[in-house]
Each structure stands twice: as structure tokens, then as C-alpha cells.
A and B are shown apart, each in its own frame.
Chain A
Amino acid sequence: MSALQVAGASKIFNQGTAKQVDALVDVSLTVDPGEFVSLIGPSGCGKSTLLRLIANLLEPTSGSVSVNNKTAAQARLDQDYGMAFQQAGLFDWRTVSKNIELPLELKGWDKSKRESRAKEMLELVKLPEFAELYPWQLSGGMQQRIAIARALAAHPQLLLMDEPFGALDEMTREYMQGELLRICGETSTTVVFVTHSIPEAVYLSNRVVVMSPRPGRITSVIDVDLGSKRNEDTRAADGFFKSITAVREALRGTHAEHAAANAIRGVEDR
């Protein structure tokens, strides 16, 4: 049984008009339970679009998406996944604890159950003393940890993340990567993670999916073999650099191909 399956999915915006954009063409991807998969590629390669198809925030133009062997739409209705974005997206008018409780409120949980779960999640992200503060009183990294706690509050088996650490400084970012691996290890959550950063993708992932723009598609999938226990030493390991090089070359390939395509178009234009 797979945690999620994308089969021949395409997404075309403004179809049939002058502004038509082939955001994704014939994308297939299967993710196993407990796996950590990163989507990487240049801007416009459709990685965020693919994430939104999985989340059922967008409907594919063709092809299908299934999560936990249900349609993506049903999985969304059942809140089978949690989601985190580049902006922590916390609600200014809610305390930290109430922010974490939001998805549970929408599921109709009663107050005491919500509060004890929020407390448990704050322990998980190691911020238990901040429950009654408001988001503006926390640093960017702390806010992002609260957003992760909120995404995992309902104990979903799948976590979808769209450049969640993109707005953080490098030090905080590496710390957050370690924390994310610890949290997902403890909760055995499956993760699909969109990023721009090659080291980030390699450090976190079991597999790195390399994508290319115009039209958005998957060009290669690179297995990262760094074992399941990763720590700061991993960042200095040979395997880490080898995988970084492999991803970089795969990305260069898409880049070179793209440049060549542009050159041909240049010829045609004349």
C-alpha cells in the first residue's frame, strides 16, 4: 500500500487561451509510507503545483491523485494530511495553543481533548512554555515550529510542506531540518517537501525528485542513501556530498536542456 500515488497527472492553467501555462505534464510519483520525498527544481517547474494537486487545493486537468488509497478530495475531507507553508501562517488573534487547536476545532473535537493534544504537540516541538503567548512574540523559527505542530496536530500520516524553511536564516534552517527529521521519525509521518535548496533536499530525503520547467515535469528521481539516523555528522559525510553532486548534475541537465530549447526557439524566431 502506498501513502500517495500520482498517476499521469497534468495541470494546465488557462487552457485554450493565449495565457495557457502547462504547469505540469504527465507526472507520475508513488510515495511509500514513512518515506521522505523532496521536490526540487527551478522556479516554474511545477513543484508547488504538484504539492497542491496532492493536497487537492487544485484539481488535475487530467490523470489522478490518490492519498491513502482514496481520492485526493476524500483525503482532504478526512484531513488525512497536514500542511505547512513558507509563511508560518499563524493567526495573530489566536494564542500559540489556539493556533495548534484550529484543525482540531474544525474536526469537531471537544475542548479538553483539543487542549491536551495541543500540549502534547508543544512538547513535541519543544516549546511547551509558549502555549499562551501570541505568534508575534515568537521568532520566525519558533513560529515555523508551531506551524509544524499545527500541521501534525490531528496526527495525519502525511505532511505536505511548501518551502517551510525558505524564509529562515541558515543556522535556524539547519536546526529546523534536524527537528523535522526527529519529529517525523517519532511520529512515522510520510513527508512531501518542496524546496529550492539542494543540501536541504539531500539531508532530509530518502528520495529527491528533480523537476524541470516549461512544461513542468519530473526529469529524474535520485535515491539518497544516508541511512535512517541522520545528524550533524551527516552533513560532513562523503555520501552527503555525493548525493548533492548527483542532484546538482540532474538539475544542470534540466538547465542545459532548457537553454538548448531556448536556443532552438531563437533560431525559429528568426
Chain B
Amino acid sequence: MARANATVGGLRGLARARRVGPAIVFGVAFLALWESAVRGFDLKPYFLAAPTKIFEQFIKNYSRIWEASMVSGGNALVGLVVGTFFGVAMSFILSRYRFLGELITPLAIALNAIPIFVLVAVLNNMYSITSEIPRRVMVTLVVYFIVLVNVAKGLTQVRSTHVELMRSYAASEFAILRKVRVPNAVPYLFTALKIAAPASVITAFVSEYFGGLQNGLGSRITSNIANSKNAAAWAYVLGACLLGLAFYIVSIILEGIARKGEAK
């Protein structure tokens, strides 16, 4: 059996290499093409900076990019944690009281339909100019809806065979929740987190465009562009990209730990 597991693991490793390999080759080729296009056509830095220049700026400004990343990343993390908490809590309430779901779903759809970022402008007015709260609230809202919709689905869309089986064991509603609905919702939660984690970073730094403190990645990108420091702006974009990636990777690692041994 241990051997069977090892074989499965080995096959997975091979499959992963096959899947990731072409992506790496493509990425490197893309950067090479970008670099040669900038050099070959002699594109000006204000039009498009070369990857080598961006990387140079990234190294040079590393500590400042790191600081800005901590600010935006911190806002994203706070919003992600709070939003996930309330999203999960609300999905439990909605799955228990279906009529509430029917009341709230149209409102949620309506809220999702408006460009939600405009709320930052409103929130900025509610708090002092030096406050990080508006951005964190904004991230919380975005994460909340992603988590709510997915986890509620996981709690309610359980297989009818499973429910019949539990009823045949005379299981209580609470037992069905604990042993069927919650485990069923776990993959949905991680699907939500995989979407919400990068979204929280994007929300955190896009929120910075609406004023407030000038300490995060978003504000740094704006100010560098305003000062015609394009390569530096790109370096901050790279920082934002890496931050989003880090959030995504952490969500995948958490999923791997939580669902050890399961298929997917």
C-alpha cells in the first residue's frame, strides 16, 4: 500500500513537471521577446521599459518595495482574514435558514453589479486621511462575498445519497452538518480562497488610488508614473505581482495541508 502511494506520488510529480515545464519555457521566451523588442525597435523607457531595466530598479528599490508590499499586503491580509471569517459565518446562517438566503441573494447580486471600488471613496470620507481602515474594509467586502457564495454552495449542495444515508442512521441535523455539510464545503472554501487571496491584494492596492496614505504599492506606482520613472513603476508592479502570487501560493499550500490524501 505504501508502494501504491509512492507510485501515485511519483506519477503526480511527473505530471506536474509536464504541466509546469511548458509554462516556464513560455514565460522565459516571453521575457526574451519583450527584451529584444525594446532593444530592437529602440523603444523609449516612457513607452515600455525593458525587463532588465525593471529588474535593475527592483533590486535598487528592493527595501522600499518591500516596505510598500508590507503595507498593501498587511491591508490585504487583514481584509482576507476578516472577510473569510464573516463570509463563513454568514454562509452557515444562510444554509440553516434558507429563507434568509432568498432575502439576501438579490441584494448580494445587486451589490456585486455595482463597481464596488467606488465604495472606497465613500469610506475614505468616513475615516481620517491617515487611516488604513477604508482599504481594509474594502478588501473585507470583496473577500466576504466570494467566500459567502462558495461556502454556502458547499454547505447546501451535498449529495442526496449522503443525506439519505445519514437520515437512515437517524443522524441529527447537527451531525449531518458536522459530518457531511462542513467536510463537503471545505473544498469550496479553498476554491474561494484561491480566488479571494489574489483579489484581496488587487483590491488593497487599487483602493490606494482613491487617496489616503501614500505608503502602499498602488500609491508608489502612481507617484513613479507621475515622475516619469517608468521602470521604477514597473518594478513596483512586479512587487505587486509577487505579492499576489505569494498570497495565491499560501492558499494552495493551506489547501494541500487541509485536504491531505484526497483526490482532485
Taking beta carbons and an 8 Å cutoff, which residues of A are in contact with B?
Answer: 55, 57, 76-79, 81-83, 85, 87, 89, 91-95, 102-103, 105-107, 129-130, 132-134, 136-137, 160
Q: Say yes or no: B167 contacts A103, CB within 8 Å.
A: no
A77 contacts B170, C-beta separation under 8 Å: yes
Q: Are B261 and A91 in contact (CB under 8 A)?
A: no
Contacting residues, chain B, for A134 (C-beta < 8 A): 261-263
Give chain B nearest CB distance to A252 CB in angstroms.
32
Q: Tell me if B168 is interfacial: C-beta within 8 Å of chain A.
A: yes
Indicate with 1 or 0, residue by residue over B31-49, a CB within 8 angstroms of chain A CB atoms.
0000000000000000000
A85 touching B261, Cβ below 8 Å: no
The answer to the question of B165 belonging to the interface, with a C-beta cut-off of 8 Å to chain A, is yes
Which residues on B sit within 8 Å (CB–CB) of A132? 1
- CA gap between A132 and B8 in the complex, in Å: 14
A-B pairs with CB below 8 Å: how many? 63
Q: Which residues of B contact A129 (CB under 8 A)?
A: 1
Give the complex CA separation of A57 and B164 in angstroms. 7
* Partner pick for B183 among A93, A95, A107, A136, CB 8 A cutoff: A93
A106 near B167 with CB under 8 A, answer no
Taken together as a complex, chains A and B put the C-alpha atoms of A106 and B172 apart, in Å, by 9
Question: CB-nearest residue of chain B relative to A154?
Answer: B169
A-chain residues with CB within 8 Å of residue B175 when the two chains form the complex: 106
A85 touches B169 (CB 8 A): no
A92 to B161, CA, bound (A): 13
Contacts of A76 in B (CB 8 A): 167-168, 170
**Which of B161, B168, B186, B261 is within 8 Å of A55, CB to CB?**
B168
B159 in contact with A87 (CB, 8 Å): yes
Which residue of A89, A95, A136 is within 8 Å of B161 (Cβ)? Answer: A89
Name the one of B159, B169, B183, B186 contacting A79, with C-beta atoms under 8 angstroms. B169
